[in-house]
Amino acid sequence: MKSLSIGLRFGFHIGDIRVIRGHVRFLLFLTLVTNAFGAGLGSYSHLVVADAAGPARDGVRVTYLGTNGYQFEFKEHALLVDPYFSRVDLLSVALGSHIQPNSSRINDGLRHLASGKCRTDAILVTHGHFDHLLDVPAVMAKARGTLIASASSVDLVRRLPDAGASSADAVKPGDVKRIGPWKIRVLSATHDRLFGKVPYDRPPSKAGLSAETAAKAGSAKAEPPQRAADWICGEPLAFLIEVNGQRIYIDSGGTQAQLPPNERVDLAILGVALPDSRARLRVTLERLQPRYILPSHQDDFFRPLSAGFQFAPLSDFPFVQRECAQRNRGKLILLDYFRPWTLPGSTNSKFQIPNYKTQIPNKGSNPNP
């Protein structure tokens, strides 16, 4: 009865715990298999792009930080999106252990980024999960910049004891922010489901409230987030960034219930971590018609960045590759950690599509030897 009462108190049943434990065991198994046999970027080196060594090229420079993290640079101004360097291990997440930012890994990650000449204007966050938001307060303390995120994500940051002086701007879909050379449109998004549910969704006691109302209601007495489950998803967001006459769309995945705007972009950074986001990839490309397609959130974010890029257990890049080839809307590219790439300028306002041929493995072949 004691176990039952605890379960009811926190909004779940003992049967749910057994299911969750089964899913955790499954993920642990997949991770072990991936670590032993998983593929890196070597099989797809023909898709990996990066600037040549030497002075930075003119234009918008894109640097991949791992998971769904990016830095965009333009004329000594920078934007960060979902910066996450700590890479908490899967076992700590599965066991509900206390997690916290890894200062050494954060410092190492920041050393790879823009020089002191580049000012970080803002940090955009797509949602509140730990692999998107955990490191943000520490990054803000070092890189400065305003946090732009949903009300629930801003609330999580403000619960932290050292976040009193942090600059944060709670936004909602439809908002437009102009910071330095950047025009940032905030868009609605959804989060992929894992085993039929959005992981670490809004607490049951606030499920019927909007993200903003829930944040206001709970911020006064709420405890700082300590476990992975405390970093709740909240309201997912996507962003359409305009700079230098170019447009970059970025999300962290989603479902077909919420699609991106029917507008052409130069670069589409699309989360493809789970089946939901891959199922909507075709229609997403039809709507955005990007010149360049950059699949995101498909690396194993439980491995430290120093271990190098490795595809996550639930990723399916061969499927992504086939979908992009069938749509033929743009050039499929990949980025490796901390290797900047400058987005080429469009030749005209109609976003001409570059000519290319994507190499597609036969369905019976093994693309990940």
26-63 per-position pLDDT tens digit: 455 445 544 444 689 999 999 999 999 877 778 999 99
3-class secondary structure, 166: coil
Q: Is a pLDDT exceeding 60 seen at residue 118?
A: yes
Give percent of the chain with pLDDT exceeding 90.
Answer: 66
Q: CA of 174: how far to CAs of 67, 171, 187, 250, 261, in Å?
A: 26, 9, 6, 15, 12
How much is the pLDDT for 161?
A: 79
Instruction: Please state, in angstroms and rounded to a whole number, the distance separating the CA atoms of residues 257 and 183.
Output: 26
How much is the pLDDT for 201?
A: 87
Instruction: Give the sign of the dihedral formed by CA 343, CA 346, CA 352, CA 354.
Output: negative
